[in-house]
Structures are given as structure tokens and as C-alpha cells.
Amino acid sequence: MKKTFLLTLALMITTLLSAQMTKEEMDNVKNTNPLVMQWLTPYQTPPFNLIKTEHYKPAMLYAIEKAKQDINAIINNPQLPTFENTIVAYEQSGKILDRVSGVLFNLNEACTDEQMQEICQEISPLLTQYANDVSMNSQLFAKVKVVYDLRDDLKLTTEDRTLLDKVYKGFIQNGALLTGKDREEYRKATEELSVLTLKFNQNALNDNNSFVLNVTDKKDLDGMPQYALEAAKQEAQNRKMKGYVFTLDYPSYSAFITYCPNRDLREKMWKAYNSVGNHNDTNDNKQVIKDIVNLRLKIANLLGYKSFAEYQLEDKMAETPKTVNDFLDDLVSTSMPFAKKDLDAVQKYANEHGFNGKLDRWDFSFWSEKLQKEKYNISPELLKPYFNLDYVKNGIFNLAGKLYGLEFRENNEIAKYHPDVTVYEVWEKKSNRFMAVLYMDFFPRESKRDGAWMTSFREESKVNGNEIRPLIQLVCNFSKPTKKTPSLLTFDEVTTFLHEFGHCLHGILTECTYQSLSGTSVARDFVEGMSQFMENYAYEKEFLDLFAVHYKTGDKIPQEYIDKIRATQQYNAGWLSIRQLFFGELDMAWHSIEKPFAGDVVSIERIAGNKAELMPMIEGCCMSTQFSHIFGGGYAAGYYGYKWSEVIAADAWAAFKEKGIFNPEVSSSFRKNVLSRGGSKKPMELYKAFRGHEPTNEAFLRQQGFIK
């Protein structure tokens, strides 16, 4: 870490610490700041129309002070520690802090600006310091330990016991047993880390936004789909530029790298996309990565673990790095022969159609799409007219209705954080019961990071007998509608929508008592199973028939197209599997280090690439510097979970295929035993209650075409 950054961080923390709020300031915030005032809005939704950027910092400072008061109330309670006055009270502490930080940090991902980014960097160390003060408070931990030691004598429900275990182990994993110098080192490391992860994401976003490819000669774009050209022309007009503009936002990049006939331009675009955060400038992430992994290692060592992976995996389904590495290596060895066949087939096709030499990375998608089109006579351009975003959304809503009896009612009275957002109330039709508010945010913009995700502004819980239903946010980056066409999705984007909506259902259908156990608050290597399960519907005629009609003619998607979609399900399955496994191997390589890392960032990529890559690495390109899942998100030593969850999802899907993909008995069991239970029991127990057995690899391998 650069000394200037450390100095800035130290000054930042010192300034914040010296700026404790007076009672007068606290009262002023309480009475004037819309983030902390009572939300007299439908379903107590955030009043985005009233919230301004300058409200965030004072609201966060106020919320931290209120959270401290909640903790002090537990510590100073003269009664003997009980489950209710200690564990439940701890669970329910800091509600205002949860509320304000939920708005701030979610919007920092979806609708940010420089001022908001600066506020997040200022507040993050203070939040971490507050968390450290709580987890290292010996008086508080002593009370928690009293209850934990009496756990077998208490009349606790299964969910109560899960919460107690989680709270107790959480204190230990967050430094409660540390003393003296170790405690101070832990504090310092976690505070620095909280700022660095934000810095990583901000660098990646800024670098992503800095690249623009302006093409003025239409000949360079011959053969590109009309939808991509219209979007690029609209982007050029928005930027007051001539011709066509392509960016690194995924819809633009994906269309360009798949269809652009100009190989030199494809190379330029591919290298730009794959070198984000690696340009030795102010947005460079290499040193940030080194600092992050070394701080994580330091934290793990202080807590008694050899590596961050060992620390991180202790409470996951996999439990140990060896289990994860064996899992990844086994799937690599299974997938690699199929991946080689996929590459050889595309190489052969390209050579037979005028391409000389070996394929480079910017060639694979281009020639692979042509081969797929010739082999199956289908292409994204052929399918997109049937995947009008509005139709797809209605189809997915209809699916949720068939499976779980849900209904989605648009509400224009609920405030939005951006004009692109659409807000829905979610109701259970049969009981006419309100279930959730769902914010749907579909289109790219410079203030939003790339990718797709689900999160929430508020989790479900029950407090003093009152049920609090969740506020769910779904964020994607689909192509915006143009003056001529609505937003039309590729088939891959349809599966992305289904994937993220699977997470939404996990949040919407939850029926837990405690917020920290509800919805998607489950082990990382289990949570993706709920979302990947939903992707299977994209290949089913019964689902596609619910919505897939041509946006111009209204004609239903032809049966032959559906047959071809299903036939392509295993196309390049080996190649795609290896690509995903490379990400998992890279993640584990970074977080399995047992000594501080001072080498070349790219060297770690080569280690992972030696296991799970088929093409040579390109100078200047680096996945790590843009790998926000592990360096700016919650998937550190957890990216393997996507593949782990694929096994679970395939096994669960087999249950539906056996009895019908809309079968009410199966969907009711899935809801009751898995989706509604959140993290109230161990994942394997939840899954076995639904399926009757642990998931096996067979359904997954069969689905991929790796076994017959």
C-alpha cells in the first residue's frame, strides 16, 4: 500500500473520530434527515424523492451512535443474560444503521457519483471500527458466552439455536478472543480492508467508463445485428459523436465481440474489456489487490488460520480448502476433454471458412457463433425479437405465479432512486397477503457497475410479533430500448434474468424470525443453487409458451426454435465449464497464499491458467484487476460456489422434471423446505428435507452432456 494512501486513510479516520455528534446535532439529524426520520411511505420504503447525497454522511454518523446505544443497553442490563435480552437484543440492534447503510451502499453500486463514492470511503472505516468495537467488547461477549454455554438447557427452536450458534461463532471469527497487540493489528487491518474493497470497485467502474470505441466506417460493422447497430448509433448520438459508439458495458461489448467482422477492432475491444484496472494509472488495481490479499491473510493469521481460504470456508458447506480444490480439480479434469473438443471444433470451422492460423481469444466468440448458427441454424439475432424485455418480465412473473402463487402489481406511488427503475408490490394471490416490494433496474448507465445482481434494502423478519416484509432490488445491464425497437434480450440475458430472479424469490418467500437468517442469508456455496435452478426454465417449451412472441407480429416462438434452443444447451458446455472453473481456481489461488504476496499479479493468473486455460494469456490483460466478485464483493474464497451450486441446482431440477416443471406438490415442497427457510438450518438439512437425499453429480454431468 502506498504511504500516501495510508496517510490519507489515517487522517480520514482521525477526522471522523474527532467529529462525534453532540446531542444537538443528533436531534437535528433525527428531525430533519429523511434517511433516519420515520418513513411514512408505502410499506416504509425509502423516500428516494427526499434523499439527497449530503444526507448520507450525517445519517450514517447518527445511525452508528444509535447502534452504540443499543449495544450499551445490552451490556448495562442488570438482569442475568438470557436468549431474549442478549441474543435477540443483539440481533435487533442497529436497525437504523441497517436501514441507512442499506440505501447508501446499494445505491453506490447502482446509482453512484463521485460525492457518494467519497462518502462511502469516509464512512467504511468508521463502520468497520464500530463492528470491531462490538465484536471485541469483552463484556458483551461474556454475556453471549453465558447464553451459549447454557444452550442445551434452554428451550430453543431450531432457528433460535441457529442464531445463537451464528452469533457466538461470529464473535470469535471477528476477533473476540484477540488481546493486546493482536487486537490492534486486527482493527487496523479490517479498517484498511474496508476502504480498499471500495477502492477496487471504484477503480474498475471508472476504468470501464473511460473506454469508448467510435466506429465511423459502417463497413467495419457489416453483418452486425440491427439491434446492436441501433444501440451503438443511439450511444453515439447521446455522446454527440458521429457513427457508432461501443462501450465496455456488457450488452455493447458482447454484441461487438460476437459479430464484428473487423478482427483488429475485435482485438482492440477484447483487450480493453480484459485489461480493466490494469493500465498503470490512477485506476490501476494491481497494488490494491496485493494490499487486499495481504490484509486478508493477516486477519486470518491473527485468528489462527493458515490462509484466508481456511478462515472463510469454515462455516460453508465445503468447510475446507482441500474440499474446494479437490472439487474444482475434479471438475477441471472432467470438463477439459470436452473443452478441447469445443475449441478444436471452432478452430476447424474457422480454418475451413477462410481464417488462417490459430484462433486468438478475440476470435473464439465470433467463430463459435457462426458455427453454432450453421450447426443449429439459430442465432441470438433470430431469437431476440421473441424476447422483448417486457414480455420476458411478464413471463417470469407468470412463472412465479404458477410455482408459488405470487402476483406482481406495479406501484407508481413508491419513490424510485432512478427514472429507469420500476417498482412492484408482490402479493400471494390465494391469501391476498403482501409479500415484498420489488425494485427492478434493468439498463446500463455510467453510475452503475457492470453485471447483474440481487440485493435488498430491507430483509424480512419478525419483531415483537410484527412481521416486516422485505424490500428487494434486482439490478441488470440489458440493452436499452431505442427509438425504433424495445429492449430485446439475448437468450443468455433471459437466463441471467431468471438467475437473478431466483435470488429475488429466495428473498420474497422467506418466512424467518430473524433478519440475519432470512432470505439469501445462507452459505455462499448454497445460495447460488436457488438462482441457477431457475435458469433451467429457459429451455422449456411450457415456460417459453407463456411469453415468447414476436414483438412486431405477435407470433408465438416456433416449436423448431425451441427445439434448437434445447439442442444448443450443451453447445460449448466444456468450454464454458472450464472458463467458470478458471475463475474458481484463480480465486482459490489468491486466497490460499500462506505468506504475504509481493510478486507480479499476473503470475497468480498463470498458476490458475495452467490448470484451467486452453489459450495462451495475452500481455497486458488481467482478470484479477476487474474481479469484483472476490476483491470488491462477498465471494472471496467462495467463487467455487457457482459450480458447487450448479450441482445442487441440477439435482433439484431433476425433481421437477420427474413430476412436471410446474408441479404444485414439488414447488410447494421446494418453497416450504428451502426457499422460505433462509439460513434457519444448515443448508444440507434444508436440501435433504426437500429432496430426500444429498445432491449428487449425476444430474449435473448429464445436463452438461459429460455423461449419457
Is 301 among the domain residues?
Answer: no
Give the residue-averaged pLDDT of 663-678.
Answer: 98
Do 166 and 233 sit in the same domain of this protein? Answer: no
Do 143 and 215 sit in the same domain of this protein? Answer: no
Is a pLDDT exceeding 80 seen at residue 455? yes
Is 293 among the domain residues?
Answer: no
List beta partners, residue 436. 426
Integer CA distances (angstroms), 687 to 166, 483, 655, 681, in order: 20, 47, 12, 10
Q: What is the structure's pLDDT at 637?
A: 97
CA atoms within 13 A on the CB side of 97: 22
- Rounded distance between C-alpha atoms, residue 531 and residue 499, angstroms: 4
Q: Which residues are catalytic?
A: 500
Do 151 and 223 sit in the same domain of this protein? Answer: no
Task: Give the range among 12-16, 218-222, 452-456 with minimum mean pLDDT.
Answer: 12-16
Give the residue-averaged pLDDT of 448-462.
Answer: 95
- Rounded distance between C-alpha atoms, residue 34 and residue 56, angstroms: 10
- Give the start-end residues of each E strand in 376-522: 406-410, 422-428, 433-441, 453-458, 461-463, 466-468, 471-475
Q: In this structure, what CATH number is given to the domain that contains residue 49?
A: 1.10.1370.40
The size of the chain, in residues, is 708
Give the residue-averaged pLDDT of 504-515.
Answer: 98
C-alpha grid cell, residue 349: 470451422
Do 151 and 267 sit in the same domain of this protein? Answer: no
Distance of CA 102 to the CA centre of its chain: 15
Q: What is the structure's pLDDT at 8?
A: 39
Taking only Cα atoms into account, the Rg of the chain, rounded to an integer number of angstroms, comes to: 26
Do 399 and 445 sit in the same domain of this protein? Answer: yes
- Rounded distance between C-alpha atoms, residue 643 and residue 577, angstroms: 8
Is a pLDDT exceeding 90 seen at residue 284? yes
**Helix axis angle, 683-691 to 641-659, nearest 10°:** 20
- Percent of the chain at pLDDT exceeding 90: 91
Give the residue-averaged pLDDT of 546-569.
Answer: 94
Q: What is the pLDDT of residues 112-163, one digit of tens each?
A: 999 999 999 999 999 999 999 999 999 999 999 999 999 999 999 999 999 9
Instruction: Mention every residue, 6+ apart, whose C-beta is less than 8 A from residue 644.
Output: 317, 318, 327, 525, 528
Angle (CA) 123-127-129 rounded to 5° is 120
Q: What is the pLDDT of residues 207-249, one digit of tens each?
A: 999 999 999 999 999 999 988 999 999 999 999 999 999 999 9
Integer CA distances (angstroms), 472 to 121, 183, 512, 517, 640, in order: 25, 37, 16, 16, 25
Do 100 and 230 sit in the same domain of this protein? Answer: no
Do 471 and 420 sit in the same domain of this protein? Answer: yes
Is 417 among the domain residues?
Answer: yes
Do 394 and 523 sit in the same domain of this protein? Answer: yes
Do 152 and 218 sit in the same domain of this protein? Answer: no
Q: Could you tell me the pTM of the whole model?
A: 0.89
Q: What is the structure's pLDDT at 21?
A: 83
Q: Report the 10 Å Cβ neighbour count for 40.
A: 7
C-alpha grid cell, residue 355: 481464417
Q: How confident is the model at residue 23 (pLDDT cuts 50, 70, 90)?
A: confident
Residue with cell 439455536: 161
Do 142 and 238 sit in the same domain of this protein? Answer: no
Q: What is the pLDDT of residues 316-363, one digit of tens each?
A: 999 999 999 999 999 999 999 999 999 999 999 999 999 999 999 999
Residue with cell 431505442: 482
Last residue of a domain, one of 273, 301, 327: 273
- Rounded distance between C-alpha atoms, residue 323 and residue 327, angstroms: 6
Integer CA distances (angstroms), 104 to 46, 111, 318, 437, 517, in order: 11, 10, 33, 18, 22
Per the CB < 8 A criterion, the answer to whether 657 and 542 are in contact is no
Is 684 among the domain residues?
Answer: yes
Secondary structure (H, E, C), 84-150: HHHHHHHHCCCHHHHHHHHHHHHHHHHCCCHHHHHHHHHHHHHHHHHHHHHHCCHHHHHHHHHHHHC
Last residue of a domain, one of 173, 200, 235: 173
Is a pLDDT exceeding 50 seen at residue 576? yes
C-alpha grid cell, residue 66: 444509535
Name the domain count of the chain. 3
- Rounded distance between C-alpha atoms, residue 125 and residue 194, angstroms: 6
Where in the sequence is the domain holding 239, given as residue range(s)? Answer: 211-273
Last residue of a domain, one of 226, 248, 273: 273
Do 230 and 147 sit in the same domain of this protein? Answer: no
- Rounded distance between C-alpha atoms, residue 515 and residue 521, angstroms: 8
- The chain-wide mean pLDDT, for the chain, equals 94
Do 552 and 435 sit in the same domain of this protein? Answer: yes
- Rounded distance between C-alpha atoms, residue 292 and residue 307, angstroms: 13
List beta partners, residue 422. 440
